[in-house]
Amino acid sequence: MAKKLSGIFLVTIILLLQVGLVFGNTDNVIDNAKLLDGDIYDELQSKANSIKTIYGMEPVILTIDDAKGNSSMVIADDYYDYNGFGVGSENKGILMLIDMDNRTVWISTTGQDIIDKYQPLIDPILEEITPYLSDGEYSDSCIRFLEIVENVERTGKISTYGQRVMDMMTSIIPYIVALVIGLIATGILTLSSKSKVTATGRNYESGDSFVLTNQADHFEHENTTRRAIPKNNNSSGGGGSHTGSSGTSHGGGGSSF
């Protein structure tokens, strides 16, 4: 009986260890800097799992407050490589690092297909994310990052605010809605009017009462205002295609905030 119980106990321990390994490998949100709201982890993890399952690439979010003298690029690439992330033989995926020590957000991409797809989009993605970080809205920046990744995987576009406005403008639905609202408002105003206008100013104006006898143009003055267009100094440089310390190729880029 004792041997049987020992066997059951040993099997239970092995299963628990296996479960622990599985759950450890699915931890895509690593908030070492303690920036994220406590109730946001489940939402972010669920979204990351969904992207990984549907699109065959793994998104990761990492925050740190001590870079230990390393660049954001090195930290992002090495963390992804040495912690078992990625899908397939090329470990395809993308990592967003929020580096509070260097005050930099860095995006690292892995897998040639992912590198090629995202490299032209790195700057627009950073332009979408950086304002959240500058305002201290770290949880919102992570949500927006995963939204962008999902949209890129689904449509090949990042769907910026400007693009969403343009999509609405090119769609016929807003115009139909505006026309219907206008017709309804006009109908209500017409029905609510209980009196008709029977006289206007033209009823009391003789035909030749107004004659233009002289016309002239006078140039008064001209004002010219010059403004310098500020350059974007937030960028900390793009990563391009490079090789990490593990020998794995990465793409990406970063921006200060």
Residue pair 62/30 in contact by the 8 Å Cβ criterion: yes
- The CA distance from 49 to 79, in Å, is 19
User: How crowded is the C-beta side of 61, counted as CA atoms within 13 Å?
Assistant: 28
What pLDDT, in 10s, does the model give residues 159-172?
Answer: 755 554 544 555 56
Digits of tens for pLDDT over the chain (257 positions)? 555 545 554 444 444 444 343 333 459 999 999 999 988 999 999 999 999 999 999 999 999 999 999 999 999 999 999 999 999 999 999 999 999 999 999 999 999 999 999 999 999 999 999 999 999 999 999 999 999 999 999 998 887 555 545 445 555 666 576 677 877 877 677 776 655 555 555 655 565 665 666 666 665 655 555 544 333 334 445 567 888 888 899 999 999 99
| Pairing, β 235-238 against β 249-256 | antiparallel
Domains annotated for the chain, with CATH where assigned, are 23-167+236-249 (3.10.310.50)
Residue 249, beta-bridge partner list: 243
Q: Give residue 42's pLDDT.
A: 93
Q: Give residue 217's pLDDT.
A: 63
0.85 cut: is pTM over it? no
- φ and ψ at residue 38, rounded to 5 degrees: -60, -30
Q: Give residue 188's pLDDT.
A: 77
- The CA distance from 92 to 114, in Å, is 6
What pLDDT, in 10s, does the model give residues 227-252?
Answer: 443 333 344 455 678 888 888 999 99
The secondary structure of 7-65 as a DSSP string is: HHHHHHHHHHHHHHHHHHHT--EEETT--S-TTSHHHHHHHHHHHHHHHS-EEEEEEES
User: Nearest Cα to 113, choosing from 28, 48, 157, 55?
Assistant: 55
- The CA distance from 19 to 25, in Å, is 10
Maximum Cα interatomic distance, the chain, rounded to a whole number of Å:
122
CB within 8 Å of 248: residues ≥ 6 apart:
77, 81, 91, 110
